[in-house]
Amino acid sequence: MIEYALWFAFTCFGIGQLFCLFRLVFAPGVGDRVLALDTMAINMIALIALFGILHDTTMYFEIMMLFAMVGFVSTVAYAKFLLRGDVIE
Amino acid sequence: MEQIGEILISALLVLGGLFGLVGSYGLVKLPDQMTRLHAPTKAATLGVGGVLIASLMWFAFFGEAPSWHELLITLFLFLTAPITGMMISKANMHLTWEPDELPHCGPDMQWATYGDSAERSLMDGETSQDQRDHRE
Reported confidence tier of residue A51, pLDDT bands at 50, 70, 90? very high
Higher-confidence residue of A15 and B44: namely: A15
Q: Residue A73 above 90 pLDDT?
A: yes
Q: In chain B, which residue's Cα lies nearest the Cα of A11?
A: B17
Under DSSP, is residue A6 helix (H, G, I), strand (E, B) or coil? helix
Mean pLDDT for chain A?
Answer: 89
Residue-range domain boundaries for chain A: 2-84
Q: What is the mean predicted confidence (pLDDT) over A61-70?
A: 91
Q: Which residues of B touch A79 (CB under 8 A)?
A: 84, 87-88, 90-91
ipTM value:
0.87
Task: Report the alpha-carbon distance of residue A63 to residue A61 in Å, rounded.
Answer: 5
In percent, the amount of chain B with pLDDT more than 90 equals 21
Predicted local distance difference test score (pLDDT) of residue A38? 92
Q: Residue B124 above 50 pLDDT?
A: no
Task: Report the alpha-carbon distance of residue A36 to residue A32 in Å, rounded.
Answer: 6
Reported confidence tier of residue B125, pLDDT bands at 50, 70, 90? very low
Q: What angle do CA B92, B33, B40 make, to 5 degrees?
A: 100
**DSSP for A4-45, written as a single string:** HHHHHHHHHHHHHHHHHHHHHHS-SSHHHHHHHHHHHHHHHH
Predicted local distance difference test score (pLDDT) of residue B64? 79
Task: Report the alpha-carbon distance of residue B42 to residue B22 in Å, rounded.
Answer: 10
Q: Residue A56 above 80 pLDDT?
A: yes
Q: Residue B123 above 50 pLDDT?
A: no
Answer whether A69 sits within 8 Å of B91, measured CB to CB.
no
Minimal C-alpha gap between B108 and chain A (Å): 22
R_g of chain A computed on alpha carbons? 15
Sign of CA dihedral B114, A83, B47, A60: negative
Predicted local distance difference test score (pLDDT) of residue B126? 46
- pTM value is 0.81
